[in-house]
Structure 1
Amino acid sequence: MKRALRPLKTWAFNVPAILSIPALAIPALLFAGTMRAADAPVVVTSIKPIHSLVSAIMQGVGEPELIVDGSASPHTYSLKPSNARALQEANVVFWVGPNLEAFLEKPLEALGSNASVVELENAPGLTKLPFREGGAFEAHDDGDHETAAADDHGHEAAGAGHDDGHGHEENHAHHDDHEEHEHGHGAFDTHLWLDPMNAKAMAAVITTTLVAADPANALTYQANAKTLDDKLTALDKEIAATVAPVKDKPFVVFHDAYQYFEHRYGIRVAGSITVSPETIPGAERVSEIHRKVGELGATCVFAEPQFEPRLVNVVIEGTSARSGVLDPEAATLKAGPDLYFTLLRGIAESMKACLSST
């Protein structure tokens, strides 16, 4: 979904007032007016990882606004009045899409032609993996998936994926019997940003959109995009080296958010406690995962900072598994251009620390 841009605001001069200003002050005022006319469009982003990529490309021009801030999760978020106002003022909105930020779907439709709305889940070159239904996953399998991005690590695919499509708070009490319906809105896992190659693909669309919206700053956007692309290449190699010593050790995660990370780096995940964090797993699923942890000798079970850790403690009780924490949505991180790199490094380092412990 992409709509035409509304005109950007420009500086208006009061000619009589300018004529009354001392001659030496006029050049400075004209320069200020020129800078204002070249200001960036008003840009709004949905979640922290996307905000980070947009921030990196907009450095030196402006700062995008963020909707899902702090420790909030797009799976359970409700739009605030301040968010609605930001959307109304926006020239450009970047989001993953309705399969992740379902709470944004109707508000964005209501914008009409007032903003260019860009669904990054449709970016050319993305690797897309189908969603996984069960909490306990089978052995890794190179299933079919959409991709135009080369996997130069040569890792095996981590199997089928899942879609964390619905973020309504009223879904919190859903039992796991309904999980298949919860994921019927889309056919792919929406945690696309956890593969740096997907971040590159999204950054390309972000850059093209910003250049079209703000040609006056095109060179800055393009230079920043090149820097970002180079940094993502280096990050990819760094993470591969970080997790290489532990990639064959099985582990369990709180919710099935890491498939793109697994797929990129050949990591061995045994299963998730819940397919979707807004869905409370039933006793049967928890028991199944508990058995899986014991049978596979899973080294770690990872919680997430914004969700109740009690279930993780139940799953590891009576086993040799340790608990750790992973933060796929950057709940504990400060928003900004460096967040994406801190996020992926944090996941890799947390995995290595827990899985390599004796």
Structure 2
Amino acid sequence: MVRMKKTSAAIAAAAASTLLLSACSTADSEGGTSADATDGALTVATAFYPLQFVAEQVGGDHVVVVSMTPAGVEPHDVELSPATVRKLGTADLALYLSEFQPAVDDAISTTGVEALDAAAVVELHAESGHADDEHTDDEHADEDHADEDEHDHGSSDPHFWLDPELLAAYADAVGQAFAAADPDNADTYTANAEALHDSLHEIDEQFATGLAQCERDTIVTGHEAFGYLADRYDLHQEGIAGLDPESEPSPARILEIKDIIAETGATTIFTEDEVSASVAEALASDVGVETSVLSPVETVADGEDYISVMTANLATLEGALGCE
């Protein structure tokens, strides 16, 4: 089980020196804010959707959330516009995950904005070995993928939010950071963080119950985004590609996945909503299985949120794995 690091006091102290700006309480994408300002509200810049969701839920009417990754954009390799960087520089606090989005890391370093790094709150999983395995049998790997290091996410899997309990731990830290930055509304932030924690714990219990008795426990995915979810609920993830959603699997990895599907009786290859599914669909057609979207919740459609998408993910998994 991944445990939360004991950094709450340090997080609160780091956030305490932030300045208050005039802003409003609804999120906008790509560095924008809504029209009417409310005196005394915190401006919080968030790197990508799950952190935006936490900021909105914890901050409520006292916080305006500025998203650095536009809605519908795959966040791994997002590029920030000058306007977004300027908005970041005027924020009271930024929420981000170091080594996940290089452009965001650079902008936070350049602007000097106070920032709460999720990697300082939750202990990230080490990257699995499958990403490296993809290319070991390809004699041209060094040539074909020489630029992959530019998109390296470090040695850790960034997708911690797919374990609801880890996202709940981060929500607690965000509540402390907001309270330190805006003591007048500290009680509200604390209460909101507790309510979000409870909601995420409920989602966790639903997953644990729904996936407790299934015919299969192996999930074959387009890329290895679901390690935290798999570990939390005793599933086994097999990614066609590694952590980088743009990487191409080697022929050896494709053959290995075919063998895994045959051995485990998997009926589904899980694809994603914002990542090309061409390789997964071709493989599924070749071996005679279905494809189904399993969202990594890196972005959501209008009218959806983390809770609704995770609920849909559970239903998808229950159907594909033959759960009772």
TM-score w.r.t. the length of structure 1 is 0.72
Report the Cα distance in structure 2 between the residues aligned to 1:37 and 1:135, rounded to whole angstroms.
47
Q: Which amino acid aligns with 1:117?
A: A
C-alpha contact 1:131 1:189 (8 A) present in aligned 2: yes
Structure with higher Rg: it is: 1
How many residues align? The count is: 291
The alignment status of 1:8 with 2:4, answered yes or no, reads: no
Shift of 1:346: 2.2
The 3-state SS of whatever aligns with 2:266 is coil
How far has the Cα of 1:206 moved from its partner?
0.6
Is the contact made by 1:207 and 1:221 (CA closer than 8 Å) also made in structure 2? yes
Alignment partner for residue 117 of structure 1, among 115, 118, 130?
115
Match of 2:101?
A: 101
Q: Match of 1:349?
A: 315
Distance 1:178 1:259 in 2: 25
Residues of 1 paired with 2:205 and 2:114: CA distance?
Answer: 34
- Cα distance between partner residues in 2 of 1:184 and 1:280: 14
Cα distance in structure 1, aligned partners of 2:143 and 2:233 = 32
Contact 1:243 1:352 in 2 (8 A): yes
What is the DSSP-based 3-state SS (H/G/I as helix, E as strand, rest coil) of the residue aligned with 2:281? helix
CA contact (8 A) 2:271 2:277 kept: yes
Distance (Å, rounded) in 2 between the aligned partners of 1:176 and 1:262: 30
* Distance in 2, Cα, partners of 1:280 & 1:305: 18
**For residues 25-36 of structure 1, what are the structure 2 equivalents within 5 Å?**
none
Are the structure 2 counterparts of residues 352 and 182 from structure 1 closer, same or farther at C-alpha, using a change threshold of 3 Å? Answer: farther
Identity %: 24
Alpha-carbon RMSD across the aligned residues, in angstroms, is: 3.0
Residues 73-115 of structure 1: CA distance to partner in whole angstroms, max 9, x if unpaired? Answer: 2212111233112212211000122x21122111111112xx3
Q: 1:339 aligns with which of 298, 305, 316?
A: 305
- State the secondary structure of the residue aligned to 1:70: coil
User: Secondary structure of the equivalent of 2:275?
Assistant: coil
Distance 1:131 1:308, change over 3 A: same
Q: Aligned letter for 2:175?
A: T
Q: Deviation string for 1:294-343 (max 9, x for gaps)?
A: 233222101111122110122223324221111103434338xx722123
Matches of residues 232-247 of structure 1 in structure 2 within 5 Å? 232-246=200-214
Matched, 1:128 2:146: no
Question: Which consecutive residues of structure 1, in runs of 5 or more, have no partner in the other structure?
Answer: 12-35, 138-172
CA distance in 2, matches of 1:190, 1:277: 12
Residues of 2 paired with 1:216 and 1:69: CA distance? Answer: 31
Output aligned runs, 1:1-358, within 5 Å. 5-9=17-21, 39-97=40-98, 99-112=99-112, 115-123=113-121, 126-134=122-130, 181=149, 186-246=154-214, 248-334=216-302, 339-356=305-322
* Equivalent position amino acid for 2:19 in 1: P
TM-score if structure 2 supplies the norm length? 0.79
Conserved? CA contact 2:273–2:295, under 8 Å: yes
Distance in 1, matches of 2:173 and 2:152, equals 27
Q: Partners of 2:315 and 2:296 in 1: how far apart? A: 13
Query: Residues 332 and 117 of structure 1: is their aligned pair in 2 closer, same or farther, counting only changes over 3 Å?
Result: closer
Q: Distance in 2 between matches of 1:323 and 1:101?
A: 28
Distance in 2, Cα, partners of 1:261 & 1:254: 15
Amino acid in structure 2 at the alignment position of 1:87? L
Change in Cα spacing, 1:178 to 1:290, as seen in structure 2 (3 Å) is farther
| 8 Å CA contact retained: 1:136, 1:270 | no
In 2, are the aligned partners of 1:303 and 1:323 still within 8 Å (CA)?
A: yes
Equivalent-residue separation in structure 2 for 1:182 and 1:326 (angstroms): 27
Cα 1:176–1:324 shift into 2, 3 Å = farther
Q: Distance in 1 between matches of 2:306 and 2:201?
A: 13
Match of 1:163 in 2: none
Deviations 1:36-81 (A, max 9, x none): 8862221110111111011100113233111113221221211123
> Counterparts of 1:9 and 1:205 in 2: how far apart (Å)?
21
Alpha-carbon distance in 2 for matches of 1:4, 1:232: 27
1:176–1:282: 8 Å Cα contact kept in structure 2?
A: no
Q: Which amino acid aligns with 2:45?
A: V
CA deviation map 1:5-40 (0-9, x unaligned): 4432479xxxxxxxxxxxxxxxxxxxxxxxx88622
Structure 2: runs of 5 or more not aligned:
1-12, 24-36, 134-140
